[in-house]
A and B are shown apart, each in its own frame.
Chain A
Amino acid sequence: MLKAVILIGGPQKGTRFRPLSFEVPKPLFPVAGVPTLQHHIEACVKVPNMKEILLIGFYQPNEELNRFLSSAQQEFKIPVRYLQEYAALGTGGGIYHFRDQILSGSPQQFFVLNADVCSEFPLEDMLRFQKEHGDAHSFIILATTANRKQSLNYGCIVENEHTSEVLHYVEKPSTFVSDIINCGIYLFTPEIFQHIGAVFRKNQQDVMLDEQCNGWQRAEVIRLEQDIFTALAAQEKLYVYKTDRFWSQIKSAGSAIYASRLYLNQYHKTHPERLATNKDGGPKIIGNVYVHPTANIDPTAVLGPNVSIGTGVTIGAGVRVRESIILHGATLQDHSCVLNSIIGWDSTIGKWARVEGTPSDPNPNDPYAKIDSETLFRDGKLTPSITILGCNVTIPSEVIILNSIVLPHKDLNRSFKNQIIL
């Protein structure tokens, strides 16, 4: 049997996702119409023999998460449980802490997936690769190719080109090491816990010996990447499976629009029923669009490409939406125009208002380019990015909101450009 663990992090992570992460844990933010996590879960349940999915993180139990868990269990007919860390334990510490839960029922292997990525999740390919390459106890890292410059922002892997063994692993190097980067998706056997355990015990000793120890340093905090993979390299245990399928981090809100585009495109294969089509009496659909059935959309509106419309959204006559995510309960009044933006829950856009951002897409001319984990400011100026309205923001008629971030519950009374509006 198989299991899967999804690392969902906690509230002090995901700050780059503000102001949207104020309202909903980042793993539940909808991408292509469904919570980010659901894409992971859908990929996991497709793998034969998958018996349980465990979410590990340090969010306090909350209503959204509970609702998501119970609906996922119902929909996929598989146990989906949340295991809460008592503190942020790192990517290795979390799974080590809950190793008994993971190993109960004796899975031969288990996947570990970071929640903040979007991917085609070629999990079965990873299983096959594990079988084909060496022993059945090897660990597999899913990797992809980046360009030289951007590789520095990721975990970099040097492989033996013949055996695919990981010869060297370094997290976010300051100089170029390899263009093969870690996708944050792993296949482990239970033996991984021996390696994490060894690090744990060493940490314990270090903490005891260290008289300067100020108390917050914990032996249990273990990072898979720096603490485990680096040590496992060139030990004939760790192998890399490279994919050329789509993959991206979802760190910032801007990357959510890009991730939505990737998933919407995948729906042609996996969920064609989720893609809106041009129908009599319906809005004009251009390209890939997701519209929740409860949304109320005027037939003269034009949507797409890459638009996701949430529950209970109202879209008036002559509205244009492109490359945007409209969250539940939002209202776009007649003739308004929303481009490259995320419109927060229950926000209202007035007539003829224009809400526009600047896309932060990877360089389209470089097949290995990734989305830049953008810095908010460059040279003291807000870098042009997508426009994000927090929840319950009101935009008056006829104004323009350009490249701005509006925090929740604001009633704006004029146009804004290149600003964060507190």
Chain B
Amino acid sequence: MKALILVGGYGTRLRPLTLSVPKPLVEFCNKPILLHQVEALVKAGVRHVVLAVSYMSDLLEREMKTQEQRLGIKISLSHEKEPLGTAGPLALARELLTDSDEPFFVLNSDVICDFPFEDMLKFHKNHGKEGTIVVTKVEEPSKYGVVVYEGETGRIHRFVEKPQVFVSNKINAGMYIFSPSMLRRIQLRPTSIEKEIFPVMAEEGQLYAMELQGFWMDIGQPKDFLTGMCMYLQSVRQNAPERLRTGPGFLGNVLVDPTAVIGENCTIGPNVTIGAGVVLEDGVRIKRCTVLKGAHIRSHSWLESCIVGWSSSVGQWVRMENVSVLGEDVIVSDELYINGANVLPHKSITDSVPEPRIIM
């Protein structure tokens, strides 16, 4: 079986992290975002993953070579010369996707959840039509485009963009499975699969919805990245609690790479991910944060709702909060207050940032 992952462009919403590393390789809960998806696909029987990218990155190519070997599958990069939207990349990869009659998966690369690929396949084969999309429940449907479908069968009636009166609380979760015959609907030009393809398929009774069980998050921007981390760690707590660190000084769900070094009198958690080679000195208080590989947090600092970039260094008695994101190799001097700062890579910060802003 095959899968197409819509990786897209520069991942600007996740800057400053994506200035150093292509978005699919940014670690989410100590694993590159893309691998969360690829590993789940492999588990469901996928043997060939196509990444639809709109820019080429040596780093991504090399990493995918490594993963091909490690996972024993084929990973190809399908490079669009001009942005093709969410449907165009399927046309570009048409030959790859139509060399058998088997259905194939398509997913947005920013989505994190308990991936239900086996259930999708089962559901899809069961109704026998051209496409299945996964939907997830949201609290405020008026902010999204919602999917109206038949509760029992899942057959989709229509899509409603930002509904002002309640029609449904299910939204497109960015994961699809299609039969190859569906590709006849797509031309090789910039096309939105959601706006131009799905409504027609629904009209013709060819599109079905499967409701996702469990958590779901689009982690394409830092605030949601952290929210998604909390959800993911909670799901780890339920499914594989042994992966989480517990004991004195650890609160709630905390994921720590075994190579990280943690000092005395720290209080860590809830909802913290600590990457490989990270050093937390004595007396650090950290909650709801992701600390990426090689970062160093010096003693008595206090961090909440932050992403600390690779090899960054946070000084002593620093207070950092409110979705502050440090790019790669940022240095924050001692005793500063950093409130909602987005700091570009290789910057040295010597003054407090009392109100949210971007530090170029």
Contact = CB atoms under 8 A, between A and B. Distances in A.
Interface in A290-343: 317-320, 322, 334-335, 337, 339
A417 B337 CA distance: 12
Given A318-B300, A400-B337, A337 B354 contact: no
A335 B337 contact: no
A402 interface: yes
Nearest to B285: A352
Contacts of A335: 265, 283, 285, 300, 302, 317
A279 to B, nearest CB: 21
Contact of A398 (B299, B302, B335): B302
A354 B302 contact: yes
A356 interface: yes
A334 B285 CA distance: 11
A402 B300 contact: no
Contacts of A334: 265, 283
B335 A318 contact: no
A317 B319 contact: no
A354 B285 contact: no
B319 A354 contact: yes
Interface in B271-319: 282-283, 285, 299-300, 302, 304, 316-317, 319
Interface in A234-256: none
Contacts, number: 44
Given A317-B265, A337-B319, A400-B319, A354 B283 contact: no
Point out which of B285, B300, B319 has the most chain A C-beta atoms below 10 A from its C-beta.
B300
A297 to B, nearest CB: 15
Contacts of B316: 320
Given A352-B302, A398-B285, A337 B317 contact: yes
Given A318-B265, A322-B335, A402 B302 contact: no
Contacts of B321: 400
A136 B304 CA distance: 69
Interface string A21-33: 0000000000000
Interface in A108-134: none
Contacts of A318: 265, 282-283, 299-300
Interface residues of B, number: 15
A288 B35 CA distance: 55
Interface string B334-360: 010100000000000000001000000
Nearest to B334: A320
Contacts of B299: 318
A223 to B, nearest CB: 42
A354 B338 CA distance: 12
A402 B283 contact: no
Given A337-B300, A354-B302, A320 B317 contact: yes
B25 to A, nearest CB: 33
A399 B302 CA distance: 10
Nearest to A301: B300
A317 B354 contact: no
A373 B354 CA distance: 24
Contacts of B317: 320, 335, 337, 354
A322 B304 CA distance: 23
Contact of A317 (B283, B304, B337): B283
**10 A-B pairs with least C-beta separation:** A318-B283, A337-B317, A320-B317, A318-B300, A335-B300, A352-B285, A352-B302, A354-B319, A335-B283, A400-B319
Given A352-B285, A400-B337, 16 more contacts: A317-B283, A319-B300, A320-B316, A320-B317, A335-B265, A335-B283, A337-B300, A337-B317, A339-B335, A352-B300, A354-B302, A398-B285, A398-B302, A398-B304, A400-B319, A402-B354
17 contacts: A317-B283, A318-B282, A318-B283, A320-B317, A322-B335, A334-B283, A335-B285, A335-B317, A337-B317, A337-B319, A337-B335, A352-B302, A354-B317, A398-B285, A400-B321, A402-B337, A417-B354
Interface of A: 317-320, 322, 334-335, 337, 339, 351-352, 354, 356, 398, 400, 402, 417
Interface of B: 265, 282-283, 285, 299-300, 302, 304, 316-317, 319, 321, 335, 337, 354
